[in-house]
Amino acid sequence: MFTTFFSNPEQYAYVCRLNGSSLYVFQIQRNSSLWESVEYSSFAVGPESDKYRLSVSGFSGDTGDALAAPAHPFRISNGMQFTCADQDNDNSGGHCWNGNSGWWFNLCARSSLTTDEAACWNAYTNVVVEDVIFSRMLVKLHQ
């Protein structure tokens, strides 16, 4: 079962307002039981009036940057507005929302961690690899 706390973009926006100098870490568990970490020194979600636009930078980690530097430039989520059932803000010409999640889709994405099934984090190919079985976001506040 996936973490569901961040299924609402307002919750991401709240966490991002906690402290501008925080470290944001996604921990991802693959179906191989392997855990990987992705860190961003800057992770911001814009206001509702801008449809919760995503802005990330300062990547490091032991798996690829599926938000800002995936294998295909049309899969970049960085700079995108949040798409969900009632808000089609992606660039696909269709609707990337898959029925049970929301994400910062561009021409759909190779990363999506807010779903109860078929979650993915793939920066290396232009193929959907739905091998994420659990994910969580951690915020380290710098004093």
- Kindly list the averaged pLDDT for each block of 10 residues, start to end, along the chain of length 143: 47 57 80 91 86 91 88 87 87 75 82 79 82 84 62
Distance of CA 123 to the CA centre of its chain: 12
Q: Which two tokens stand for residue 121?
A: 């984090």
Whether 69 and 123 have beta carbons less than 8 Å apart is answered as yes
- CA–centroid distance for 111 within its chain: 6
Tokens standing for residue 94: 């269709």
Amino acid at 58: G
Q: Is the pTM for the entire model greater than 0.85?
A: no
pLDDT digits (tens, 9 = 90+) for 87-101: 888 888 777 776 667
Q: What is the pLDDT of residue 16?
A: 57
CA–CA gap between residue 96 and residue 32 (Å, rounded): 27
**Ordered domains of the chain (ranges, CATH):** 5-140 (3.90.215.10)
